Structure 1
Amino acid sequence: MTAPETERTSVPEAEELRERALASLTTARARTTLLTSCVEDPDLTAQHSPLMSPLVWDLAHIGNQEEQWLLRAVGGREAMRPEIDGLYDAFEHPRAERPSLPLLPPAEARGYAAEVRGRVVDLLTAADFHGSRLTEAGFAFGMIAQHEQQHDETMLITHQLRTGPPALTAPDPEPVPLFPGPAEVLVPGGPFTMGTSTEPWALDNERPAHPVDVAPFWIDTTPVTNAAYQAFIDDGGYETERWWTPEGWAHVRQHSLTAPLFWRRDGGQWLRRRFGVTEAVPADEPVLHVCWYEADAYARWAGRRLPTEAEWEKAARHDPVSGRSTRYPWGDADPGPAHANLGQRHLRPAPAGSYPAGASPLGVRQLIGDVWEWTSSDFQPYPGFRAFPYKEYSEVFFGPAYKVLRGGSFAVDPVACRGTFRNWDHPIRRQIFSGFRTARSEAL
């Protein structure tokens, strides 16, 4: 039985969804092209770290996922290259093994991804945005745009790991005066709505919306800076066992960690390597490339702790005046250049205290963009969670082996970043664009 016209997506709404989906896919593909065309083919096929895939694997995987979910699942089309599905199944082949696979060479991978995209654009022109849960509000197209942007961030990490001359350039963020605001703000206690049931392109682990009661707590106004982290190093932070969890201390000793990844001491100065350039570590930037163990140890040294995931989201979304949970710290409007450092617009975090237009109602800054922020929480499902459209996106990762990161980094596109978005990784990971801020419980 056909649903009444009033219950279906109106023509203007359908056209708006079509334009949004096309714009998101186009933006992602332009970035993929940049990341895979700025180096020669040998750099595309090489494995620059056993932690990462060859760039050419990511390129064809992006096309293969788009074909499987949009052309096959949504469009009902026959498989274009069924014989390659297994090669680009992320769960079938660990990253360290992928260079040994019979991968598509660069030209063929580019051609395959381009052909898939051409067919997807044709499909999008006639797509029904009300036919199923997969197509409702263009979800499948948004999911694929987010998937490509997530792999673009992964490829940017690979670019950071590769050696040799710089291949990417971007303007630096605008300099800002030294942040004069308070070091921390008090987030009032009480319930708030965590997660979402209404954000149309939210992924399964962000759902459903549910009430969470959070005790009052203090949270850093900005992420922890390089200067602050250097004070931890200078005070013997990496040599003092009492700041570390047993697992963290064992990891530090086993791998001889003495500073964030890509840092090295040159006389009395700390230097870092950033996308092929060696430079002095900037004091006022949020610290980058630290693992969860390092963030947790710093927080203990500072007499503080990492915020829980619920605390982080309350600081980022709760409006104490209206009582609402907003999409972003600044409200419900999509991110713009004045709100946050997103989308690979820059190749580094902005100085701490930047983007006052992106602050929360309580004045907390840079909760979105710049650096992923470690929280103290394990990655777990929300009450009422249902895997969709496949359990391998979130469900297989739930448990104590993964810690939650929030907020996005300069490498995250706005389509894959919002106040409810959840990232997760092993607590030893440092190649990711990760930093943190600290919190403390309100004194009784």
Structure 2
Amino acid sequence: MPTLSRLPHLASTQIINLDCCSRKNLLDYFNNSWELETTLLRSITHPDAFYLNPDPLRNRLIFYLGHSAVFYINKLVRVGLLPNPINPQFEILFEVGVDPETPDELELATQHIIWPDVDQVWEYRENARQAITEIIENTPLNLPIQAQHPLWALLMGIEHSRIHFETSSMLLRQLPVEYLRLPSGCNYAPSHGKIPPNQMQEIPGGLVKLGKKEDDLTFGWDSEYGSLEIVVRPFLASSNLITNGEFLQFIQAGGYENSEYWHGESWQWKQQNNVQHPKFWLLENSHNYKYRATFDIFELPVDWPVEVNYYEAMAYCQWQGTRLMTEPEWNRA
């Protein structure tokens, strides 16, 4: 993934404390989130690309161009911070995403949609940004900002935008690279061309507390609240994340052909989708893999962490004679 240190406006800022934040803190946090998503979407070089859906189970990219802005506006209207919608048609069209089981379901759900011009959606985003900025500048803070506070809707919009910054980057990685341009000043992390040592190390046992308190001083989604205390026994864990090079050894050992490493559901998924390697690896010939980054294709960086799904990670662990950490263990480690 690209590093963002050369783009100060793209370096993701820390989540803010809602009992002592200033108006400037809120505005800076909002602008940071907005710029992250805008810069990502501006990397799409041709308007026609916005009418593609690089993932067959997700909307066309133009939906995501408008979605985050519409989410802000609809939430702010509902809590009374914005008196009127900006564009009621857009605020219906871009409000709710899709979660189909098959590409045919997606086609059925979206076949009658007439998508607007890309420039119109960019204009909507600018109008939305101006409206949100005025709300931040003029709404009484009345700290702390808690779930019943009108500005909670603003925080919800900001965190929602950050989620889509991540998920949209995955969509762009499935778009042909000729439609994309690496943002100015953005570089990829270095790769040293060799697999670093990755020894198992002992993690001491202890009490792990999961969940988020109701009076926590940062924003949280509904699913984060509640509490659970679990005693974790001592265990061994790898000292580093599993790398592409380590996972390549699993592939070379026939890991994707041996059903003994995959439980029933995961093997069925692998067979149905003809999966032979991680999603963002490209098989150049029978022995060499390229790597699809967000904006480019290059040689597989063997020392970067591998990106695989749950099924693939479990199969790798089975091959190694280990297992994935549980959530309490992960928090302990």
- The verdict on how the C-alpha distance between 1:140 and 1:219 changes in structure 2, with shifts beyond 3 A counting, is farther
Does the 8 Å contact 2:208/2:331 carry over to 1?
A: no
Query: 1:52 — aligned with what?
Result: 58
Deviation at residue 75 of structure 1 after TM alignment: 0.8
Query: 2:31 — aligned with what?
Result: 26
- The verdict on how the C-alpha distance between 1:17 and 1:186 changes in structure 2, with shifts beyond 3 A counting, is farther
Structure 1's unaligned 5+ residue stretches are 1-12, 316-444
Answer yes or no: is 1:36 the counterpart of 2:41.
yes
User: How much is the aligned-residue C-alpha RMSD, in angstroms?
Assistant: 2.9
Query: 2:292 — aligned with what?
Result: 273
- The verdict on how the C-alpha distance between 1:248 and 1:92 changes in structure 2, with shifts beyond 3 A counting, is closer
Answer yes or no: is 1:314 the counterpart of 2:332.
yes
Task: Output aligned runs, 1:205-284, within 5 Å.
Answer: 205-263=223-281, 264-275=283-294, 277-284=296-303
Take 2:51 and 2:306, find their aligned partners in 1: how far apart are those partners? 31
Take 2:233 and 2:85, find their aligned partners in 1: how far apart are those partners? 52
Does the 8 Å contact 2:193/2:301 carry over to 1?
A: no
Deviation at residue 232 of structure 1 after TM alignment: 0.8
Task: Output aligned runs, 1:110-259, within 5 Å.
Answer: 110-125=122-137, 126-130=139-143, 133-134=146-147, 136=149, 138-165=151-178, 166-169=180-183, 170-174=186-190, 183-197=199-213, 198-259=216-277
Deviation at residue 229 of structure 1 after TM alignment: 0.7
Does the 8 Å contact 2:145/2:151 carry over to 1?
A: no
Comparing 301-310 with 248-257, greater Cα deviation is found at: 248-257
Deviation at residue 20 of structure 1 after TM alignment: 2.4
Take 2:293 and 2:157, find their aligned partners in 1: how far apart are those partners? 29
Take 1:187 and 1:270, find their aligned partners in 2: how far apart are those partners? 34
- The verdict on how the C-alpha distance between 1:77 and 1:259 changes in structure 2, with shifts beyond 3 A counting, is same
Amino acid at match of 1:233: I
Q: Deviations over 1:382-437 (max 9, x none)?
A: xxxxxxxxxxxxxxxxxxxxxxxxxxxxxxxxxxxxxxxxxxxxxxxxxxxxxxxx
Deviation at residue 238 of structure 1 after TM alignment: 0.9
Take 1:307 and 1:87, find their aligned partners in 2: how far apart are those partners? 41
Larger helix proportion of the pair = 2
- Percent of aligned positions with the same letter in both sequences? 23
Q: Which has the higher contact order (CA 8 A, sep 6+)?
A: 2
Amino acid at match of 2:306: V
Task: Output aligned runs, 1:281-292, within 5 Å.
Answer: 281-288=300-307, 290-292=308-310
Amino acid at match of 1:187: I
Deviation at residue 294 of structure 1 after TM alignment: 0.8
Does the 8 Å contact 1:74/1:135 carry over to 2?
A: no
Aligned length: 303
- The verdict on how the C-alpha distance between 1:182 and 1:223 changes in structure 2, with shifts beyond 3 A counting, is closer
Output the TM-score relative to the length of structure 2: 0.80
Deviation at residue 138 of structure 1 after TM alignment: 4.9
- The verdict on how the C-alpha distance between 1:160 and 1:61 changes in structure 2, with shifts beyond 3 A counting, is same
Answer yes or no: is 1:107 the counterpart of 2:119.
yes
